[in-house]
Amino acid sequence: MIKITNLNKYYNKGNKNENHVINNFSYEFSDKGLYVLFGHSGSGKTTLLNVIGGMDSFDSGEIIFKDIPIKKYVSKKADELRNEMIGFIFQNYNLIDSKNVYENVEFILDIIGIKDVNEKKKRIEEVLKAVGLYKHRKRSVLALSGGERQRVAIARALAKDPKVILADEPTGNLDSNNTFEIMNIIKRISKDRLVILVSHEEDLVNYYADRILEIKDGQMISDIKNDNSSSLLHKDTRNIYLKDYDKDSETLENITIRKYSNGNLKDITFDIIFKDNEIYIKADSKSKIHFIDNTSEIKLLDASENEFQKNIENFESSFSFDSFNSESKSNKTSFKSFFKSLFASSKQSFIKKRRFTNFALIIASVIFAFMITALSAIFDFNELDYTFAPENVVEVTIGYNDIANDLSARKVLDALKDDQNVISIIPDTYVSLSLDASRFYQTSTYANIFIPNIFLTKDSPNLKYKITVGENVKADNEILITELLAKKIISSNQAKYNSLKEFKELIGKKVTFNITTYDYYDDGPSYTIAGIVDNKSISVIFKETEYDRIIDNIKLEDDSYYSSYIPYHDLIYISTKNTKETKNILLDYGFSNVDISSEVARQKFILNRINNEMTRMITLLIMAIGILTYLIFMIRSSMFDRIKDIGIMRSIGAKKKNIISIFIKEMIMITTRSSFISFTTAYLIILYYNTHFSLESIGINIVSTSFITYIVGILLIYLVNIISAIIPTSMLLRRTPVEIIKKYDI
């Protein structure tokens, strides 16, 4: 079953206080029998047992565990072996105090992945009956005696159906009566399974062991095959052997009184009252009175007291592992029942124990609500904020390198003279729109809508757009405007002041344009809005003849004009049927800065927004890091309430991912109960004030609220809280089970 070759382990290796705790140990254990690691305290026997069970690491050597070679301690492999093949019995029981007897046994079945409800119930009942605790299955383990608690630990180990059972001083904390009962149970188990037991009690070892491996200074100094010929004298003071007492009986009506005594009876009076099918007894005596029922440790035996000697034949039991269904075990832990059973008790929640932690999560969530809405405000922009030219426009920026290579605005015309895709070429032109929105005499003084930065284009068959409101231009003084420009007009304060709300209300409105370049200014005639199109730009579409008239007045200079060494007309827009082809022509001609206007506009806008809001972003980032750090340390502090449970779970076979999963699920529930509610409440308050008291109209955008922002915020709340639970848990789980137990003195 287990073969160990040249196993070594050191404490403080390389230091002056180096301790060679396991010294070149080699041995081969068979499939069944009771092997005892015997020796004085400090001999290394417990360390050896922990290394065999994957509870602790080792420095060199090899352990072959049922044909599985282990030459180096790997936590994952050790966890799997301990989970699937090893049952542990500890000197201090290692029970979960918040659970009752039944739940402690059920818990191990959840850990190893038993999902079948009937199989779980059958196993629990059988092992509890085998250790004589089935009638106490609903009792809290805190209400049990030491011997009973150790029986629960044995039942828990048996329920796994392990191949090997490791027992570390299982009777070390028990009185003599419980010691023999526990050893009898362990002896029975060893008939079907390999049991490796650590003990320093020589009488027990000589009586129960099949093989005795004496350990001294980490080395095996002897291996004795025990013939079990020794005997033990033991008087169980809890039992009363009735045949050793004088007996007398008396019957009165339907009451039979049997009297047993081993000496003179002193005066005693009993009052027996029958009321409502219940019996009340009052005893008047100077002697100490004991009440015995089915739950008492004192047993009345119809026998004589004899020397307590047991032969191997006495270790028979009706319990058998054969009744267990090994196929019901899943490779995956039964997380649903595993988590449900653990979280059911309020004492188990690593957060519930600290009200301050819940309060801190609530405060952190409120702060986070402001942070996420403030961050959203930085990136809260739409097409109206950055859109200018249509998607079919290529822009050329004439920079210093172009000037040095004799590339000017005029050269753009030369480069594109043969390009059949070009619709029009416009130099950098400032165009603004004015619209009279007055509808009432009372609002006439606050009716002029001014929209800067308008792109000019013409009604051409090559333009792909659809008229959504109104109709196409028919006369030179009619224009089309794009939906984005219409939105910009409708969203202005003047439009709102004059109750201008719908696109159709813009049809027939008069507008004028201010068109300015370095050498051209035109505050021309009024134009009438004939229709609105779905083109994605802030554009005005003129009738072709009127557009040509306007463009003819905006001339590209033959010679570059310098102002502080920057040429005038340093930005030229080209409307084209094929932006990619036109862009390549200009690049091949030598121009270095050629972009598709709609793409570069968005990029420039985002970069400018980020640069302008860098201080706010850094502040929010520092706040986020601060909150996460605080949560990690806070939950790490709260987690110390759970160190014992974590150590127990690891020692009995829970894998790291099992425990991390528990903490994640607990944090999800805690977040839902505290952070989710507080974040949602804070967000609704911010939404209310942002809706009713927004400062966006005067250029101050502190927060931005939307459904997407809320959902992202909720997801981040859960993510941050889960991370804050995972980090300290993962750091703790880097230790071996023995290190957890020793460091935190479980």
Domain residue limits, the chain? 2-225, 239-307, 349-382+611-743, 387-577
The model's confidence at residue 556, banded by pLDDT at 50, 70 and 90, is low
User: In b/e form, how buried is each residue of 176-205, taking b as 16+ CB within 10 angstroms?
Assistant: ebbbbbbbebbbbbbbbbbbbbbbbbeebb
What is the pLDDT, as a whole number, of residue 701? Answer: 62
Q: Which range, 352-356, 471-475, 550-554, is most confident?
A: 471-475
Q: How far apart (Å, rounded) are the C-alpha atoms in residues 477 and 372?
A: 49
**Mean of all residue pLDDT scores within the chain:** 81
Query: Of 80-84, 96-100, 606-610, where does mean pLDDT reach its minimum?
Result: 606-610
Please provide the DSSP assignment of 443-509 as one string: GGGG-EEEE---EEEE--TT----EEEE----STTEEEEEHHHHHHHHTSHHHHHTT--SGGGGTT-
- In the three-class reduction of DSSP (H, G, I as helix; E, B as strand; rest coil), residue 30 is classed as coil
What is the pTM assigned to this prediction? 0.63
Q: CB-side exposure of 20: number of CA atoms within 13 Å? A: 11
The model's confidence at residue 530, banded by pLDDT at 50, 70 and 90, is very high
What is the pLDDT, as a whole number, of residue 704? Answer: 80
Contacts 24+ apart (CB under 8 A), 366-371: 366/678, 366/679, 366/682, 367/623, 367/627, 368/624, 368/627, 368/679, 368/713, 368/716, 368/717, 368/720, 369/679, 369/682, 369/683, 369/686, 369/713, 370/682, 370/686, 370/703, 371/620, 371/623, 371/624
Please provide the DSSP assignment of 553-577 as one string: TSPPPSS--EETTEESS-EEEEEES
- In the three-class reduction of DSSP (H, G, I as helix; E, B as strand; rest coil), residue 588 is classed as helix
Nearest to residue 136, comparing CAs of 146, 148, 126?
Answer: 148
Q: In the structure encoding, which two tokens stand for residue 423, read together?
A: 């619709």
pLDDT: is 542 or 437 the higher one? 542
Query: Of 79-93, 391-405, 630-644, where does mean pLDDT reach its minimum?
Result: 630-644
pLDDT: is 447 or 431 the higher one? 431
**577-590 confidence digits (pLDDT tens):** 888 999 999 999 99
What is the pLDDT, as a whole number, of residue 526? Answer: 87
Give mean pLDDT, residues 430-441: 78
Q: In the structure encoding, which two tokens stand for residue 78, read together?
A: 């050790």
**621-645 confidence digits (pLDDT tens):** 888 888 878 777 777 776 676 788 8
What is the pLDDT, as a whole number, of residue 470? Answer: 93
**226-258 confidence digits (pLDDT tens):** 876 565 555 556 677 788 788 888 887 778 888
What is the pLDDT, as a whole number, of residue 254? Answer: 77
C-alpha dist (Å) from residue 716 to 378, 671, 711, 722, 729: 18, 11, 9, 10, 20
What is the pLDDT, as a whole number, of residue 168? Answer: 92
pLDDT: is 395 or 175 the higher one? 395
Burial category of 588 from C-beta neighbours within 10 Å (exposed 0-12, middle 13-18, buried 19 and up): exposed
Query: Taking 60 as the threshold, does the pLDDT of residue 746 lie above it?
Result: no
Q: CB-side exposure of 4: number of CA atoms within 13 Å? A: 21
Q: How far apart (Å, rounded) are the C-alpha atoms in residues 578 and 629?
A: 53
Burial category of 306 from C-beta neighbours within 10 Å (exposed 0-12, middle 13-18, buried 19 and up): exposed
The model's confidence at residue 20, banded by pLDDT at 50, 70 and 90, is very high
Give mean pLDDT, residues 96-114: 90
Q: In the structure encoding, which two tokens stand for residue 81, read together?
A: 């072996």
Please provide the DSSP assignment of 99-110 as one string: SBHHHHHHHHHH
Residue 498: phi and psi, rounded to 5, are -100, 15
The model's confidence at residue 102, banded by pLDDT at 50, 70 and 90, is very high
Protein fold of 2-225: Rossmann fold (3.40.50)
The percent of residues in the chain predicted with pLDDT above 70, rounded, is 83
Contact of 554 with 515, CB cutoff 8 Å:
yes
**338-348 confidence digits (pLDDT tens):** 445 444 443 44
pLDDT: is 698 or 97 the higher one? 97
Cα Rg of the chain (Å, integer): 44
The model's confidence at residue 654, banded by pLDDT at 50, 70 and 90, is confident
296: Cβ–Cβ under 8 A, 6 or more apart, which residues?
A: 290
What is the pLDDT, as a whole number, of residue 563? Answer: 37
Contact of 266 with 285, CB cutoff 8 Å:
yes
Please provide the DSSP assignment of 308-340 as one string: ----GGGG--S--GGGS-GGGB-SS--HHHHHH
Query: Taking 60 as the threshold, does the pLDDT of residue 593 lie above it?
Result: yes
Query: Taking 70 as the threshold, does the pLDDT of residue 80 lie above it?
Result: yes
* Enclosing H/E stretch for 194: strand 194-199
The model's confidence at residue 462, banded by pLDDT at 50, 70 and 90, is low
